[in-house]
Chain A
Amino acid sequence: MKNTMIDKKNKKLSLVNKFSLTIFGLIIALTMMWFLFYTNMNRLLNRYVTSNLEHVSEQIILEMEPSLLEMEEIAFELSANKSVIAFLTEDETVDFVDKAGAVDTLIQRLSRETSFPRNTIVYNTVGDFFRFEGTLKNTSIKKLIREIERNGLNSHIQISLENTEYIGYISIIYDGTTKVGTSVMLVEESAIHRVFSQAAYKEDVKVALSADDRIVISSDKVLLGQGTDEMTHSTPFVVSKRIGFTPFEIVVIYENANRAIRLWFIGSLAVLAAVLLIILSSFIYFWRRNFFVPIQAVISGVENLDMSEGEEIPLTGLEHFDGLVKGINETIARVEQKEKEIYEARLFLHEAELTKQKALIVSLKKQISAHFTVNVLSIIKALSANGENEKAGILCDGLSFLLRYANAGDSFISVMDEFFVLQKYVDIMEVRYPGRFTVDIDVVDELDEIIIPRMLLQPIVENSIVHGIIESEDYNIGNIKVYCIIQEKLLTIVVEDDGKGMDDEKINRLIEQIKSVDENTTEVEGLSHVALINIQRRIISYFGKQYGLTVESQKGKGTKVTVCMPLNKNVI
C-alpha cells in the first residue's frame, strides 16, 4: 500500500517534472532563438557582408596592386635616374635610342609583376619618345603626348588609342627643378574590367578604380565620375585602398547590402518560424498526447457515467492518468456502496418509522379503543341495569362497529366513512349524554372520494363533547359543527363547538404543544390533549410539517379545531 502510494506520488511528480522540464526547455529554446536572431543576426550579416566585401577586395587588390605599384616604382625610378635624364636630354635620334638602352634595362629590371600588358612611353620636352613597352603606332603616341601637354596632366590620363581605351599613370621627370620629360604607363581598361568581372561575380558587389578621387573605371557605369569620399560616406559597405603614391584607388562597394541583409533576414525569419513551429508543434503534440487527450477521456468518461451499477471510467493507457481513473472508479464504487447503505438505512428508518407509526396507531387505536370501550361498556351496564336494553343494544352495536373500525388494517379511509364512524360515535355519546349536545356533520358526496388517515376526527369531536360541552358549567345544549373545506390540493376539516372554550393560558400552552410536535414526539402533557397531540403527530408523519391542526378557543365561547392535510383522492 505504502509502495503504491509512493509510486503514485512519484508518478505525479514526474509528470509535473516533465511539464516543468518541457516548459523550461521551450523557454530556453525561445530565448536562445531570440538571442541568436536579434543579437547575432545583424552581426553575422554584417560580418558576412564585410567578409564578402573583404574577400572580393582582397582578390582585386591582390590582382591589381602589384601592377599598379610596379608602375609607381618605375615612375619613381625614372624620375630620379641620371640615365633617364641623359636619355631625355639627348636630341640626336640615334643617340636618343642608344641612351634609351640603359633606361630599358632599368625598366625591364623593375618589370616583374605585370599582370596587365602595358605601354610604357617616355618622352622629352621636344616630343621625342621611346616605347619601352608596347607597340602603339607613332600617331597614337603623338596624340597621347598632345593630350597630356595640352591638358597639363601630371597624374593620370584616360585616352582612346587605336580603338582601345587606356588608362595611364603619368609621372613628370625632373632634372632638379626643370622638367625634362614625362613617363606614361598605359594599361588597357578592358584588362581592368576583366579583373573586376572575375572578382565581382555577385551583382551586389561593385568594383571601381578611382584616379585623383574620382571613379574612372567601374564594373557599374553608374558609379563613373563619382567622388570616392562621397561614396565612402554614403555607402555603408565600402572597402577602398589607395595604391602607394599613385593617384589610383581601388574601391569595392557592396551595394544593396540592405537588400542582402533583408533577404537574409527574411530567410532567417522563415527558418526561425519553421523551427519555432516545429518546436511548438512537438510541444503541443507531446502534451496533447500525454495530457489533454487522456484528461478529456477521463472527463468524457465521467460525463457519460449513467451511474448504473458496476459502471467504470475506461483506462487511458497512460500510467499517470490510469491512477486517477482507478481512483475515480474506486470512489464511484465507494459512493455507490455508500448510497446503497444510505438507501438501506433510510429504508430501514422509514420502515422503522412506519412500524413505529403503526405501533403508535395501534397503541392509539388500542388506547382510544380501550378508553372508549370501557366507558361505553359502563354505560351499557348501567342501561342494562336500568332495563334500558334497547339503548344498551344500540350502544353495543355502535361500540362493536367502532371497535371493528378502529382495528381495521387500512390506515386511510374516506372522509365519508370517517364521518359515518363519527356519527356512530356521536350516537353513542348522545345515549351517554342525552340532550346535552348536537352534532352537525356536513356531508357532501365528494367526500366519498377523499381519503384521510383513520381515526382522525373522533378524538377531536370527543374533546368537543366531553371537554367543551359536558365539562362546561353552563348546562346549555352545546352545538358542534363538523364540516370540510375542499380546495384543489388542500382538505380542511373543521370541528367547532360553542362549549366552554379555553382560557388564554391554556390555549397558548396547547398551541405551543401542538407546534412543538414532530414525528418523533412521544411525550405529551396532560391526558386531555393526548388526542390532539397524537393527531398532529400523525398528520405530520404522513404529510409533513406544513400540515397539521390548529386550535382556536375563547373561554366561554367555544373551541375551533381545524385540521389541514393535502387533498388525497382515493385512487382505487
Chain B
Amino acid sequence: MKNKHIVKYYLFLLVLLCIIGGLVFFVGKEKREKKITVTIALMQDPWVENYETNLYTKWLEEKTGYNIDFVYFTEGYEAEYLNAMLIPENGTVDAVFLQDDSTVLSAEIFDEYCNAGYICDISQFVTENSNIYALKNQVATGDGEIYYAPNIRAGKKYENAQITWINFEWLKKLSLQIPETTDDLREVLIAFKDLDPNRNGKADELPMITNNVDSSFQSELFLSNAFGDNSETYWEYRNYLYNENLLSLTCGGFSRKQLQELINSPDDVIGVFCSRSILDLVYPSSTDVISRYVAVPPLTGPDGEKRATKSIPAISIGGYIPANAEHKQEAVEIMDLMLSTEGSIFAAYGEENIDWRNSKPGEKSAYGEKAIISVINDSFYGVQNKHFRGAGPSNLPARYVDNVFWSESSAYAQYVDARAIRLYEEYYD
C-alpha cells in the first residue's frame, strides 16, 4: 500500500514538473517571439548570398536586440516601388538602404519626397551621443532636419578624382615612354593610332577614350588639369585630339559594362582611359589586363605645372526612413549602429580574424604607411554572406581605407591604385 502511495507521489511530481517546464518554455518562447522586427528594403545584390542569414544582419540583430527582415525592390522598378512604399498611410517598411553607387534616388527626387513629408525627419530620434548626430553637419538640412543616414566614402582613393591609365604593353611595343607632358601624350596617341600596337593588322585601336557614365571616366578632366586656367589652349588641344580621333568619342555613350568589355577585351584596343580605380573598369580577376595598364602621372602643361583634382569625400544616401514606418526609433538605432566604426569595418571587410585582423608590426599599407588592419580574405568580390556589399549607411574612417595591408588576390589592384594615387596626390590643387 505504501509503495502505491510513493509511486503516485512521484507520478504527480513528474506531471507537475512537465507542466512547469512547458509553461516556462512557452512563456519564454512567447517572450522571445515578441522581439520587435524591423523591415528593411533594399535592392537585392546577387553577390550577397542571403540577407536574412547574413553575418552582418546577425551582428546588427545581436547588438540592437531587434529582428531584421528584408524586402527587395527590383532594379528598374525603384520609382514604382518607392511610390508604393511611401504613399500609403501605414507602411510596411521601416527603412530603405541604398547602394553606395546607387542611382535609385537622385538628390532632387529625394528632396521632393522630403518636402512632401514622405520621408521621416529622424533628428527627433537622434541623441547627442549618436553617430548620426556626429555627422549632423554633413547630413542635416539648414533647419536641422535629418532625412537620411549617410554612406560616406573616405580615404585617399575617394579623394582622388581620377587616374589616367595607359597601355604599357603598347608603349613597350612601340618603344615609347610614359608621357609626361601634353605634347608627349599627343605623340603617344598618334603612335597608338597609326602603328597598330595591338599587332592585329587592323586599325582598330582607340588611342584614348572618354565616357560620360561617371565623371572619373571623362578624360577631358585629366587633360584640362594640364592646362590649368588656360582654357583656350586646352580646347584647342582637346579639339585636335577629337579631330584626329586620338580622343575617341565613340565610347562616350557606352555603359560601364560596355567600357569594361572594351577595356578587358582580348583584342586589346584601348590605349588610354580614365577612372578613379583600375578596378572601376578592369575586372579584378583579369590581372593580365590590370598589368597591361599603368598610371600616367599628371601631365605637365604648357605652363610647366602639374595638377590633379582632389574630390570631396562623397556622401550618398545610405538609408532613410519612410514617414509611414512603424518602427522609426528602432530603424534609427540600426542605422546609427551601422555608422559606428565597428559597424562600418564589418560592412567593409567582414568578420574579424576571418576576413581581416589587426595588422602586425611591420605590415605596411598599399601607400607604404604603417597598416592598421590587414585584409585576409577580400570578401567584396564574389558571392559572400558577410556584409551587404556597400548597401546601407556606413562611415568608414579614412585610416581604415588607407592603412590597410592587403594580403591576397585583390592586393595587386589595390597596390596599383595606391601607387597611382601617390603619383597624383602631391599635385592636388
B270 CB to nearest A CB, Å: 9
Interface residues of A (CB under 8 A from B): 92-94, 97-98, 100-101, 104, 108-109, 112, 114-118, 128, 130-132, 135-140, 142, 162, 188, 190-191, 194
B254 touches A114 (CB 8 A): no
Q: Does B257 contact A (CB under 8 A)?
A: yes
Q: Check if B204 is an interface residue, CB within 8 A of chain A.
A: yes
B264 at the A interface (CB under 8 A): yes
Closest chain A CB from B52 CB (angstroms): 10
Chain B residues 85-131 with CB under 8 Å of chain A are none
A137: which B residues are within 8 A, CB to CB?
Answer: 264, 283, 285-289
**CB distance B257 to A132 under 8 Å?**
yes
Alpha-carbon distance A101/B269, docked complex (angstroms): 18
Could you list 16 A-B pairs, sorted by A, with CB under 8 Å? A92-B204, A93-B262, A94-B251, A94-B269, A97-B258, A97-B265, A98-B250, A117-B46, A117-B383, A118-B46, A131-B260, A135-B284, A136-B283, A137-B286, A188-B383, A194-B50
User: Which of A109, A114, A130, A137 has most chain B Cβ within 10 Å?
Assistant: A137
Residues of B within 8 A of A100 (CB): 258, 261
Interface string of B134-148 (1 = CB under 8 A from A): 000000000000000
The reply on B372 being an interface residue by CB < 8 A is: no
Instruction: Give the chain B neighbours of A138 by CB distance below 8 A.
Output: 264-266, 286, 288-289
B283 A135 Cβ-Cβ under 8 A: yes
A94 near B266 (CB under 8 angstroms)? no
CA distance A97 to B260 in the complex (A): 10
B254 touches A101 (CB 8 A): yes
Given A135-B285, A188-B383: A97 and B262 within 8 A (CB)? Answer: yes
Decide if B266 touches A142 in the complex (CB within 8 Å): yes
**How far is the CB of B250 from the nearest CB of chain A, in Å?**
6
Chain B residue, CB-CB nearest to A142: B266
A142-B266 Cα distance, complex, nearest whole Å: 10
Interface centre among B47, B261, B286, B288 (most CB of A within 10 A): B261
Of B251, B254, B257, B267, most A-chain CB atoms within 10 Å: B257
Looking at the assembled complex, report how far the CB atom of A120 sits from the nearest CB atom of chain B, in whole angstroms.
11
Q: In the assembly, what is the distance between CA of A104 and CA of B260, in Å?
A: 13
- State A137–B260 Cα separation when bound (angstroms): 11
- A194–B289 Cα distance when bound, in Å, is 32
Q: For A118, what are the chain B residues with a Cβ–Cβ distance below 8 Å?
A: 46
Cβ of B49 under 8 Å from chain A: yes
CB-defined contacts of B383 to chain A, threshold 8 Å: 117, 188, 190-191
Which B residues are CB-close (under 8 A) to A131?
257, 260-261, 264
Residues of A within 8 A of B251 (CB): 94, 97
Cα A434 to Cα B14 in complex, Å, equals: 117
Instruction: Report the minimum CB–CB distance from A478 to chain B (whole Å).
Output: 92
Q: Which residues of A contact B286 (CB under 8 A)?
A: 135, 137-138
* B160 nearest CB across to chain A (Å): 23
Interchain CA distance A522-B285 in the complex, whole Å? 148
Are A93 and B285 also in contact (CB < 8 A) when A104-B257, A115-B46 are? no
Does B76 lie within 8 Å of A108, measured CB to CB? yes
Nearest chain B CB to A63 CB, angstrom units: 10
List residues of chain A with CB within 8 A of the CB of B44. 115
Contact status A97-B266, CB under 8 Å: no
In the complex, which of the residues B74, B255, B257 contacts A112, with contact meaning CB atoms closer than 8 Å?
B74
A19 to B226, CA, bound (A): 112
Given contact pairs A98-B250, A131-B261, A162-B285, A194 touches B46 in the complex (Cβ within 8 A): no
User: Shortest distance in angstroms between A253's beta carbon and chain B's nearest beta carbon?
Assistant: 24
Can you name 9 extra interface pairs (CB under 8 A) apart from A137-B287, A138-B264?
A92-B202, A98-B250, A101-B258, A108-B75, A131-B257, A135-B286, A136-B285, A137-B286, A142-B266
B238-277: contact bitstring with A at CB < 8 Å (1 yes, 0 no)?
A: 0000000000001100110110111011110100000000
The winner among B74, B250, B251, B258 for most chain A CB atoms within 10 A is B258
* Chain A residues closer than 8 Å to B262, beta-carbon distance: 93-94, 97
B55 interface residue per 8 A CB criterion: no
Evaluate whether A97 and B264 lie within 8 angstroms (CB atoms) in the complex, with A116-B46, A137-B288, A138-B286 already known. Answer: no
Given A94-B206, A131-B261, A132-B257, does the pair A109, B76 have CB atoms closer than 8 Å? yes
Q: Which residues of B contact A108 (CB under 8 A)?
A: 75-76
A98 contacts B254, C-beta separation under 8 Å: yes
Complex alpha-carbon distance, A163 and B381, angstroms = 14
Chain A residue at minimum C-beta to C-beta distance from B383: A117
Q: Which of chain B's residues have a CB closer than 8 A to the CB of A135?
A: 260, 283-286, 381
Residues of A within 8 A of B75 (CB): 108, 112
> B residues within 8 A CB of A94?
204, 206, 250-251, 262, 269
**In the bound complex, do residue B266 and residue A98 qualify as a contact, i.e. CB atoms below 8 Å apart?**
no
Complex contacts, B284 vs chain A, CB 8 Å: 135
Closest Cβ neighbor of B45 among chain A residues: A117
Measured CA separation A190–B50 after assembly (Å):
13
Q: What CA separation (Å) do A135 and B282 show in the bound complex?
A: 9
B272 nearest CB across to chain A (Å): 15
Q: Give bound CA distance, A139 to B288, whole Å.
A: 10
Q: Does the CB pair A114–B265 fall under 8 Å?
A: no
Residues in A whose Cβ lies below 8 Å from that of B381: 135
Chain A residue, CB-CB nearest to B282:
A135
CA distance A187 to B180 in the complex (A): 45
B-chain residues with CB within 8 Å of residue A116 when the two chains form the complex: 46
* Least distance between A411 CB and chain B CB atoms (Å): 65
Residues of A within 8 A of B46 (CB): 114-118
Most-contacted residue by chain B among A92, A104, A138 (CB, 10 A): A138
Assuming the A-B contacts A98-B250, A108-B76, A194-B49, are A93 and B265 also in contact, with contact meaning beta carbons closer than 8 angstroms in the complex?
A: yes
Task: Give bound CA distance, A190 to B289, whole Å.
Answer: 27
Output the least CB separation between A192 and chain B (Å): 11
Docked complex Cα distance between A175 and B257 (Å): 25
Docked pose: A115 CA to B75 CA in angstroms: 13
**List of A residues within 8 angstroms of B287 by Cβ:** 137
A106 to chain B, nearest CB (A): 13
Are B254 and A97 in contact, with the CB atoms below 8 A? yes
10 shortest A-B CB distances, which residue pairs?
A135-B283, A117-B46, A137-B286, A93-B267, A138-B266, A137-B285, A97-B262, A114-B46, A93-B269, A112-B74
Task: Looking at the assembled complex, report how far the CB atom of A100 sits from the nearest CB atom of chain B, in whole angstroms.
Answer: 6
Task: Using CB atoms, name the residue of chain B closest to A101.
Answer: B258
How far in angstroms is the closest Cβ of chain A from B337? 27
Q: In the assembly, what is the distance between CA of A118 and CA of B47, in Å?
A: 9
Whole-angstrom CA separation of A94 from B271 in the bound complex: 13
